[in-house]
Amino acid sequence: MELYEKQLASKQIFDGKVVKLFVDDIELPNGKGAFREVVRHPGAVCVIPITDEGEVIMVKQFRYPFSSVLLEIPAGKLEIGEDPLDAVKRELEEESGVVAENVEFIGMTYTTVAFTDEKIYTYMATGLSYTESHPDEDEFLEVVKIPLDTLVEMVMTGEIKDSKTQVAILKADRLLKERK
């Protein structure tokens, strides 16, 4: 049996600022019909900015769906057609007031494979210099520096819950250790 679901029809039922919601009629591999609810998203970028002292520039931000403040790496939504590298440099400066001499792509992640097509492009930034942050008018952030080793422990104990931040911290830690 081939593991493939064939789209028979698609209907957009919501068109928002950030996402679009579709309900698709599909044919399952066994020939039976079903439907899928799919959130379409333009994609996003995130960056783990690491200082020469081994600290990571993080942001604390209230996240409405969870009604709590989360500790995250700087990140943001891609504009339609925007190059991820351009977007990550923009988001790094906007959210944290940091400009990086070196920005390295370290991977791409599917955020929630069961119902959205969102992809997050992950970067690591080094050679940092500081300027002024200028977050979006509806964005309220607190910028903090935390040692990378401490962040790894926070991921492992469950203190950091955001998946893009977890992935970036663990990948950056591994890459930096391999390069020593």
Query: For every residue of 105-153, which 3-state class applies, written as one string?
Result: EEEEEECCCCCECCEEEEEEEEEEEECCCCCCCCCCEEEEEEEHHHHHH
The active-site residue, picked from 2, 101, 132, 137, is: 137
Alpha-carbon torsion, ordered 137, 138, 143, 148, to 10 deg: -130
Q: Which of 125, 56, 135 is nearest to 91 (CA)?
A: 135
* Residue 142 annotated among the catalytic residues of the structure: no
Query: Distance between alpha carbon 46 and the CA centroid of its chain, in Å?
Result: 5
Tokens of 83: 């190059």
Q: Which of 39, 42, 40, 36 is nearest to 9 (CA)?
A: 36
**CB of 159 closer than 8 Å to CB of 169:** no
Question: Which residues are designated catalytic?
Answer: 137
